[in-house]
Amino acid sequence: AQSVAQPEDQVNVAEGNPLTVKCTYSVSGNPYLFWYVQYPNRGLQFLLKYITGDNLVKGSYGFEAEFNKSQTSFHLKKPSALVSDSALYFCAVRDNQSAGNNRKLIWGLGTSLAVNP
């Protein structure tokens, strides 16, 4: 079965330190991977995606993610965390078992990031 795992419910980092939010996936075929962020009482915002090409993907707000095919991972990273990065982060992968206009996303359960001043 296709799935996405975010092994950490909560990640705490100090402001200015690097941050990593982990994501692993299981999907048939080539993975299409995504990260979204949700600030309190807001909708989700697209951060970045990997479809093909360079394994290091750069996205919004200084975030980047590294695709690792052998480890089936797509960890989100940022060199220097800000307090304003505190939010809920979701990893998602395209469902490759549906076709055409019936494609949809499979979502991880989310990781709550808290950046402490």
User: In whole angstroms, what is the distance from residue 70 CA to residue 60 CA?
Assistant: 26
User: In whole angstroms, what is the distance from residue 83 CA to residue 116 CA?
Assistant: 6
Q: Whose Cβ is closer to other proteins: residue 13's or residue 91's?
A: 91
Of 46, 83, 84, 114, the one binding other proteins (CB under 8 A) is 46
Residue type, 33: L
Binding mask 18-37 for other proteins (x = CB under 8 A): --------------x-x-x-
> Cβ contacts of residue 49 below 8 Å, gap of 6+?
32, 33, 34, 35, 57, 59
Q: Whose Cβ is closer to other proteins: residue 87's or residue 115's?
A: 87
- Six-digit token string for 82: 């800000």
Q: Is 82 in the site for other proteins (CB under 8 A)?
A: no
Stretch that binds other proteins, among 12-20, 23-31, 69-77, 101-109 (CB under 8 A): 101-109
Of 12, 18, 26, 42, the one binding other proteins (CB under 8 A) is 42
Centre a 10 Å sphere on the Cβ of residue 35 and count the other Cβ atoms it contains. Answer: 26
Total length of the chain: 117
Q: Under the rule (CB under 8 A), what is the footprint of other proteins?
A: 32, 34, 36, 41-46, 49, 88, 90, 92, 94, 100-105, 107-110, 112
